[in-house]
């Protein structure tokens, strides 16, 4: 059996190293494929035959076979692209993508785009999966396709406002009756923009008139119209506001919006110290209508839309999956992997949780193929193939010698 066995062993070597070269060739072919994970051929010897008919000594091997092709999930280098929908995972997670038939694949390739329906898809048209959000931007537990809503944001009327300022304690009481057109009749003023129910802007102006020690009259004016006396502001001897801190203004609005406009005013952060009167900060909660302007994705996978009115809204949160044994995944093509019994069920969650890793927007993960290593493996595989070919040639010559003995 010796010479024939050597032939069969060499043939197994040719087949095995031919397959190994296919693995190397596939790695090299995908050196530029985003998110590609390289593979490595693993060999094992075939069951040995005993020359002694059952003895454990004197065993001769029967060749080699390709025992496994293992995938390396070492992270590839990260490359900035400037495209918001290019996403890289810094960690162990996989993107969850679903095709039109509902088949789920898991991928590290984060090159996404928006289709004609506003859905985020990969280059193969598979839908990126994420936790859905309510119309107010609250993340829900339902997983589905991520759709970018570009609908106009409805306006919101101002309902609350606050002023943070200092009124100069050294100010004197004006000599004449308050008149908004005469700056000598008041000590300080500030204005802010507020919005009605239609999203139209209105200018609210506030006038502060010192009337006595630690007491200030407050007047409001909307859009340059008539002024309205509001509740006085009263301070203690330490300059801390003790009266008039919370007021509700009823403002007359024109232009077809709901009127009067009721605004809860917060003056609790106004002080009366011995420094110049000044405005520190002011806020209000109204805004006009707005259209979609841009998109951002943070490291937690939250997809946030920015609108022209300065408002933002969370549209969804990208789902990532990880596996107890990622080497148990099988390749499904188009940069995807499929779940198997060996991989275990996917463990889904939001980025930055449970070891899934964080997302980096405007970045893609490159292939983790190491060309230097692949070329070295190619040389070794080529030499092994040549050696097995030489074994066949030599064995053939030995058989020929046996045949020649018959002459």
Q: Do 198 and 108 sit in the same domain of this protein?
A: no
Enclosing domain of residue 259: 160-284
Q: Do 378 and 393 sit in the same domain of this protein?
A: yes
**Residues across the chain:** 407
Q: Do 259 and 215 sit in the same domain of this protein?
A: yes
Q: Do 69 and 180 sit in the same domain of this protein?
A: no
Q: Do 164 and 148 sit in the same domain of this protein?
A: no
**What is the count of structural domains for the chain?**
3
Q: Do 114 and 182 sit in the same domain of this protein?
A: no
Q: Do 277 and 182 sit in the same domain of this protein?
A: yes
Q: Do 114 and 176 sit in the same domain of this protein?
A: no
Element (H, E) at 358: strand 358-361
Q: Contact at 8 Å (CB) between 275 and 170?
A: no
**The pair of three-digit structure tokens given for residue 30, joined into one six-digit string:** 């995908």
The pLDDT profile of the chain, 407 residues, written as one tens digit per residue, is: 567 777 788 888 889 989 999 999 999 999 999 999 999 999 888 876 555 555 555 667 778 888 889 999 999 999 999 999 999 999 999 999 999 999 999 999 999 999 999 999 999 999 999 999 988 889 988 999 999 877 788 999 999 999 999 999 999 999 999 999 999 999 999 999 999 999 999 999 999 999 999 999 999 999 999 999 999 999 999 999 999 999 999 999 988 899 999 999 999 999 999 999 999 999 999 999 999 899 999 999 999 999 999 999 999 999 999 999 999 999 999 999 999 999 999 999 999 998 999 999 999 999 999 999 999 999 999 998 999 888 888 877 888 877 787 65
**The pair of three-digit structure tokens given for residue 221, joined into one six-digit string:** 């004016």
Q: Cis ω on the peptide bond leading into residue 260 (within 30° of 0)?
A: yes
In angstroms, rounded to a whole number, what is the distance separating the alpha carbons of residues 226 and 336?
68
Q: Do 40 and 26 sit in the same domain of this protein?
A: yes
């Amino acid at each position: 059996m010796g010479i024939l066995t050597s032939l069969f062993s060499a043939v197994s070597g040719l087949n095995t190293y031919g397959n190994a070269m296919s693995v190397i060739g596939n790695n090299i072919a995908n050196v530029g494929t985003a998110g590609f994970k390289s593979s490595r051929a693993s060999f094992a010897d075939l069951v040995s035959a005993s020359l002694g008919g059952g003895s454990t000594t004197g065993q001769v091997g029967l060749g080699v076979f390709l025992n496994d092709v293992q995938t390396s999930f070492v992270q590839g280098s990260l490359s900035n692209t400037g495209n918001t929908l290019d996403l890289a995972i810094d960690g162990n997670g996989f993107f969850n993508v679903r095709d039109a038939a509902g088949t789920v694949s898991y991928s590290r390739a984060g090159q996404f785009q928006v289709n004609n329906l506003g859905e985020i898809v990969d280059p193969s048209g598979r839908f990126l999966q994420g936790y859905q959000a309510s119309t107010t931007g609250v993340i829900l537990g339902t997983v589905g396709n991520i759709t970018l809503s570009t609908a106009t944001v409805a306006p919101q009327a101002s309902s609350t406002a606050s002023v943070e300022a200092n009124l100069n304690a050294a100010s004197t009481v004006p000599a004449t009756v308050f008149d908004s057109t005469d700056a000598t009749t008041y000590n300080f003023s500030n204005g802010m923009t507020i919005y009605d129910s239609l999203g139209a802007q209105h200018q609210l102006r506030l006038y502060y008139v010192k009337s006595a020690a630690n007491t200030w009259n407050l007047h409001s004016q909307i859009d340059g119209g008539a002024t309205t006396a509001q509740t006085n502001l009263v301070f203690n001897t330490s300059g801390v506001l003790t009266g008039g801190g919370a007021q509700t203004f009823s403002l007359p609005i024109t232009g077809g919006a709901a009127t009067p406009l009721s605004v809860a005013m917060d003056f609790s952060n106004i002080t009366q110290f011995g420094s110049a009167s000044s405005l520190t900060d002011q806020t209000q909660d109204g805004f006009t209508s707005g259209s979609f302007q841009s998109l951002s994705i943070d490291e937690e996978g939250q997809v946030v839309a920015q609108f022209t009115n300065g408002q933002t809204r969370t549209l969804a949160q990208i789902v990532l999956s990880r596996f107890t044994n990622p080497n148990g995944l099988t390749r499904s093509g188009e940069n995807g992997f499929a779940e198997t019994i060996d991989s275990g069920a996917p463990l889904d969650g939001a980025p930055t949780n449970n070891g899934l890793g964080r997302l980096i927007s405007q970045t893609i993960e490159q292939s983790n193929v190491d060309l230097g290593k692949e070329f070295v493996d190619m040389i070794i595989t080529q030499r092994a193939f040549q050696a097995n070919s030489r074994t066949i040639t030599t064995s053939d010559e030995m058989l020929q010698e046996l045949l020649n003995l018959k002459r």
